[in-house]
Amino acid sequence: MAKVTSSSQQSLVITMHDWLGSTAGCYIRDWEEEHFRKLTADIFGFHAVQIGFPGISTLAESRIKNRWLTCSAWSDASRHRKVADGAPAPLSVSISHRFEELPFASQSIDLVILPHILEFSESPHKILREVERILIPEGKLIISGFNPLSLWGVRQKFGTISGFHFLPEYARFISLSRLKDWLMLLGLETDRGHFGCYIPPFQSEKWKSRFAFMEKAGDRWWPFMGAVYMVQAVKRVRGIRLVGLVSQTRPRQLFHHVPAGSHRDIEVPVAEVQELPQGKT
């Protein structure tokens, strides 16, 4: 399989975006957005960040006031899909940066969402370390990814050999067990998870409808063979236990200070960070 380099990162995102517009891509996207809504609806805090893939709406039901969408290139800002009448509009891209270098201050973010980003990065460990750095104690992380132990994973394996790819060509699938090991080493404790999308890998709407019965059957009889998984983790810090409201003497700094002349690919828009409300003792 071809090695993914940082210079080709933007083209990989575009490839994934185009795939999300296909029949199979819409099937995966609809399932993920439904579960993102369920998981984020009861998460509270001051700041939430979705990193990458604006074509997937992950924070539509979030109650967190300050929500950010970041990408690897500003050109992705205009690549939103059309939104149906009455549906919440997707977030606009707020920040452009390299996925391995998050321009946020340490312990400043309450919720981070990574939709398939780890599969398209040459350094998924660096991304997770950066996420752990910016999360506050007891902050939440939600990750979605393709399951290599599924019919879709087998189809992609054959596509790698034959050259006819069903899923985005350069996606490198990460098993859930390996991902949990990475999270555990960083002190991120998994507390919730879901598998989904059990219909075989079809691009035809006709065949997809014929095998719709496998959705409920798979969830009951072979739950670990879903095409995608979604896992939620919590940042645990030893010796810290939050009880009640915490008093703050000054607002929490959001953006990480970047020295002049370095990281020129990081751009911060004119959006202002609102002062956080003061807690009561």
pLDDT mean values, one per 10 residues, the chain (281 residues): 43 64 90 94 92 89 89 54 48 74 91 93 92 95 94 83 75 91 94 91 83 82 90 86 54 56 42 43 41
List the 228-235 sheet strands across, edge first: 93-96, 66-71, 47-51, 109-115, 135-146, 228-235, 188-196
Find the largest Cα–Cα distance for the chain: 64
pLDDT of residue 40: 94
* Dist. CA 122–CA 172, nearest whole Å: 9
- How far CA 108 is from CA of 23, 49, 211, 242, in Å, comes to 38, 11, 45, 16
Q: Which CATH number fits domain 12-78+89-235: 3.30.70.2860, 3.50.40.10, 3.40.50.300, 3.40.50.150?
A: 3.40.50.150
- Closest CA relative to residue 49, chosen from 58, 38, 41: 58
pLDDT of residue 124: 93
- Closest CA relative to residue 179, chosen from 171, 168, 169, 190: 190
Q: How many other CB atoms sit within 10 Å of the CB of residue 36? A: 23
Assigned token pair, 135: 């999360």
Domain ranges of the chain: 12-78+89-235
**Number of continuous H segments (helices) and E segments (strands) in the chain:** 7, 7
Buried-exposed string 149-179: b where 16+ CB fall within 10 A, e elsewhere: bbbbbebbeeeeeeeebbbbbbbbbbebeeb
* Dist. CA 30–CA 204, nearest whole Å: 16
pLDDT of residue 177: 93
pLDDT of residue 256: 62
Q: Which amino acid is present at 26?
A: C
N- to C-terminal Cα separation, the chain: 57
Backbone φ, ψ for residue 66 (5° rounding): -90, 105
Which residues lie across from 193 on neighbouring strands?
231
DSSP label at residue 167: S
